[in-house]
Structure 1
Amino acid sequence: MPRSENPPQMETASERVQRHRKELWDRLIERGAGPNFRDDRTLRSFSLGEVAEILGVSGSYLRQLSIDGLGPTPELGTAGRRSYTLRQINELRAYLASARPKEALKFCPRRREGEKLQIISVDSGSAGSASTTTSFYLAQGLALQGYRVLAIDLDPMGSLSKMFGYHFPAIHFSDHHVSMYGALSYDDDRSSMSSVIGPTLFDGLDLVPGTSELEMFERESTKRFHNEGLRYPDASIKMVSALKEVEANYDVVVIHCGRGSFLTAGAYEAATGVLVTVRPEWPEIASMTMSLDFFSHFFTLIERGGRSVNHDFTKFLVTRHNPRDVSQQEAVALLRDSLGDDLLTATVWESDAIREAGLKKRSLYELVAGAVGRSAYEQAMETLNSMNAEVMDLISEVWGRPPMYVSRASRTAGKASS
């Protein structure tokens, strides 16, 4: 018998909708279909050659470590081929950092005492500029390189969360908050920051999902800002305070900004660096240029509250780039001439491999080359790794370390090309 067969008599329209909502949600929970990470997703193991490339050592060196029983024991496949899980790769990092202390930073790049948490806000300068995909690959790429990473999705539609395999990222009806709404709520029963963080497939990479709760937070913030005569959005202070709660657990936070004004202002105040994505097409560049007024408005709100905006860097990234398109070549040249060093040298190419991986609900890091075509895979990985390398060198510079990732990515790309 359906639970709603005998509804209460004097029921209002809102009560009826809420009752249906609760009944449907309870049924979903019973079926194990509530908001959670996909049960059927696992992260593949990485071949010895891939691990050598990730760690920046030779395959023969890793093979000898395995023979000598040093470091984690890899899985042996057909013909004695060795492979490692990501957790084992991180164990290898710890071993190599201890065995070769002069290269400890290379193997274990986690921040040391006195180095501040890096918070990178990734925002879209124009429609369709792949800010979600950029956030996704940046977070996973950093985790593969040994950083402890927290990804935060501020999109109420949960676009980044979907890429991580999160169920129902756009709706949330349970009593337990799973988005930043819980940690930023104005209610007395505000959740702790740690309670809204969940694991991902990648060892060392956690996620705060984006849900429709975030729209409710925007509405509450707008009401407070106008009705209480606030001089600046206190939502941004809440964002800073929430991240301080878990600061010791991470090296880098990647925030995927949505379209919410107050949440984005909070992301910008908390951020130590900003990455703006833009497509190299004239209408998108015009849109990005106008959106800079939007960004400036956020900074003004923060400064109006007597707090300065001191980002370590604000960089622009060209995405969905077709280097064979003459018009796009001209667009990139204009951006480079106008933005100078604030435009990353690397551009992320338009890629069928990235698109096909997305259709498989995976990233290229999660797939082997054969799954999307080796040539397309290697070309896409080269552009993604080059982007990540530049960002990691920016982080190293902030921490007072010498740059090393761009040069390593260049050597790897050259080896792949040859």
Structure 2
Amino acid sequence: MADLIHINTRIRENAENLSAALEDHMLTVFAPDARKELRLFSAGEAAELLGISTSFLRKLHFDGKIADVHMTPGGRRHYSAAELLIIREVLEGTAKTKGAYQKGRRPGDKVQVLSFLNFKGGSGKTTSSIHNAQRFALKGYRVLCVDIDPQASLTTLFGYRPEYDFLQSGTIYDAIRYEDPLPLSSVIQKTFFTGIDLAPGGLMLQEFEHETPQALMHNVQPAFFARMAAVLQEVEDQYDIIIFDCPPQLGYLTMSALCASTGIVITVVPNMLDIASMSQFLLMSADLLDVVSKAGARMEFDFLRFLINRYEPNDGPQQQVVAFLRQMFETEVMVAPVLKSTAISDAGLTHQTLYEVERSQFNRNTYDRAVDSLNHVNEELDQLVQKAWGR
């Protein structure tokens, strides 16, 4: 007779073995006490981010208008993200048009809160949200990332280990829980990436899904759909952009993020199975949003966009699906897609993004194509934010 497997014991063994292996991997990638550090940017990258030419950047140095930066033995300048912010401030001080170089909020502008979501896992929500957040930060915006996925992939990409660092406390759950919530400011973490703060995610977030039905029965206020918006009010004056990475399910966490958002980005992989899944997601979303709207939730958004993800331009069936989506949703489908790229997946092996890795580590054409596609997507979202501010 075959040995019976005690599934709870086996799952726990697998979980503990995998956790230990991941810990070893992190220690291999990063020193035991080290946190991630953001690389320096070349003069060409710096000029592109600042919106000026490399010759004008050199002239700023020559005229003594900006301080010296790190110089390689070969005489090439490299810039930290913090130095780019200082240069941006100098440029803004002499700009003919206000906001030409510092494009963040002005008095009267509301904070822009973007939710990246889909019902189906693997649609690129986390990849899209972190690249968008980092590009916004490099362009001078003040960004808060809020990880409301219990799997906490976004938190991991910022160099934290949710299963160790935030196992019992320290996640966004502590700010939105029903009993003795903490101030959001007490859970927000500074990150290695200049201009980005993080409200971490972790397994404790699952408790919010379990506790909400009981809270609804006892009419605990604020209700689940208003709790996220309420806690964001405490810190929103410190940020231009707040970005939610939502879990791959339409639960109370996702609904709370939607009710706090000003813009929605639905990521979709262009194949018919994913489109069918998204159809179900949209139908359920509409029904649930009707319910919370009648309960008093705010349901006004500045924009909703569908973002084509993991797109292969030479794939005929994918092209047909994208054409179908553009015909169906017209301008709500973003013009720029995120290309499927080995550069993005390879960077992910070391818990990095394309904005973090050195171009020299990859095939240059592969890297450039991937970065260009991400830049075009993020520029489109940048324009939507600026339009929402009336610019």
TM-score by length of 2: 0.88
1:262 Cα deviation after fit:
1.2
In 2: Cα distance, 1:38 partner to 1:326 partner: 48
Please tell me the root mean square deviation across aligned C-alpha atoms, in Å: 2.2
State the match for 1:64 in structure 2: 59
In 1: Cα distance, 2:35 partner to 2:296 partner: 49
Structure 2 counterpart of 1:90, from 85, 91, 106? 85
State the match for 2:19 in structure 1: none
Query: How many corresponding residue pairs?
Result: 363
In 2: Cα distance, 1:253 partner to 1:173 partner: 24
In 1: Cα distance, 2:275 partner to 2:222 partner: 29
Please tell me the residue identity of whatever aligns with 1:287: S
CA contact (8 A) 1:170 1:211 kept: no
Please identify, of 301-310 and 208-217, the stretch whose mean Cα deviation from structure 2 is larger: 301-310
Please tell me the residue identity of whatever aligns with 2:338: V
State the match for 2:16 in structure 1: none
CA contact (8 A) 2:41 2:78 kept: yes
Whether 1:147 and 2:136 are equivalent positions in the alignment is no
CA contact (8 A) 2:70 2:79 kept: yes
In 1: Cα distance, 2:149 partner to 2:136 partner: 21
Deviations 1:286-341 (A, max 9, x none): 11111102221331232121334001111100000011000000000000000001
CA contact (8 A) 1:125 1:277 kept: no
State the match for 2:5 in structure 1: none
State the match for 2:170 in structure 1: 178
CA contact (8 A) 1:319 1:347 kept: yes
CA contact (8 A) 2:148 2:172 kept: yes
Whether 1:249 and 2:238 are equivalent positions in the alignment is yes
CA contact (8 A) 2:88 2:102 kept: yes
3-state SS of the aligned residue for 2:300?
A: coil
In 1: Cα distance, 2:250 partner to 2:48 partner: 39
* Matched ranges for 1:116-135 at <5 A: 116-135=110-129
State the match for 1:79 in structure 2: 74
State the match for 1:339 in structure 2: 329
1:371 Cα deviation after fit:
1.0
In 2: Cα distance, 1:301 partner to 1:239 partner: 17
Distance 1:250 1:260, change over 3 A: same
Deviations 1:373-416 (A, max 9, x none): 21111000111001001101000111011xxxxxxxxxxxxxxx
Structure 2 counterpart of 1:216, from 204, 207, 217? 207
Q: Which runs of 5+ in 2 are unaligned?
A: 1-22
CA contact (8 A) 1:157 1:170 kept: no
CA contact (8 A) 2:178 2:215 kept: no
State the match for 2:361 in structure 1: 371
In 1: Cα distance, 2:285 partner to 2:67 partner: 47
3-state SS of the aligned residue for 1:79?
A: coil
1:234 Cα deviation after fit:
0.5
Please tell me the residue identity of whatever aligns with 2:287: H
In 1: Cα distance, 2:49 partner to 2:363 partner: 21
1:125 Cα deviation after fit:
4.6
Please identify, of 360-369 and 242-251, the stretch whose mean Cα deviation from structure 2 is larger: 360-369
Deviations 1:44-70 (A, max 9, x none): 111111101111111111112112221
1:193 Cα deviation after fit:
0.7
State the match for 2:297 in structure 1: 307
1:171 Cα deviation after fit:
7.4
Please tell me the residue identity of whatever aligns with 2:257: A
* Matched ranges for 1:321-360 at <5 A: 321-360=311-350
CA contact (8 A) 1:54 1:145 kept: yes
3-state SS of the aligned residue for 1:105?
A: coil
CA contact (8 A) 2:175 2:183 kept: yes
CA contact (8 A) 1:158 1:170 kept: no
Query: Alignment identity in percent?
Result: 36
Please tell me the residue identity of whatever aligns with 1:70: K
In 1: Cα distance, 2:68 partner to 2:257 partner: 41
State the match for 1:207 in structure 2: 198
Please tell me the residue identity of whatever aligns with 1:39: A
In 2: Cα distance, 1:148 partner to 1:200 partner: 12
In 2: Cα distance, 1:123 partner to 1:183 partner: 21
Whether 1:54 and 2:49 are equivalent positions in the alignment is yes
1:170 Cα deviation after fit:
7.7
Please tell me the residue identity of whatever aligns with 1:302: V
Distance 1:260 1:307, change over 3 A: closer
1:105 Cα deviation after fit:
1.6
Please tell me the residue identity of whatever aligns with 2:329: L
Deviations 1:217-239 (A, max 9, x none): 211112222x3368x98112111
In 2: Cα distance, 1:47 partner to 1:224 partner: 52
3-state SS of the aligned residue for 2:178?
A: coil
CA contact (8 A) 2:155 2:162 kept: no
* Matched ranges for 1:11-26 at <5 A: none
CA contact (8 A) 2:35 2:159 kept: no
CA contact (8 A) 1:157 1:169 kept: no
TM-score by length of 1: 0.83
In 2: Cα distance, 1:355 partner to 1:144 partner: 22
Structure 2 counterpart of 1:163, from 141, 152, 157? 157
State the match for 2:352 in structure 1: 362
State the match for 2:224 in structure 1: 235
Q: Which runs of 5+ in 1 are unaligned?
A: 1-27, 402-418
In 2: Cα distance, 1:170 partner to 1:317 partner: 33
3-state SS of the aligned residue for 2:233?
A: helix
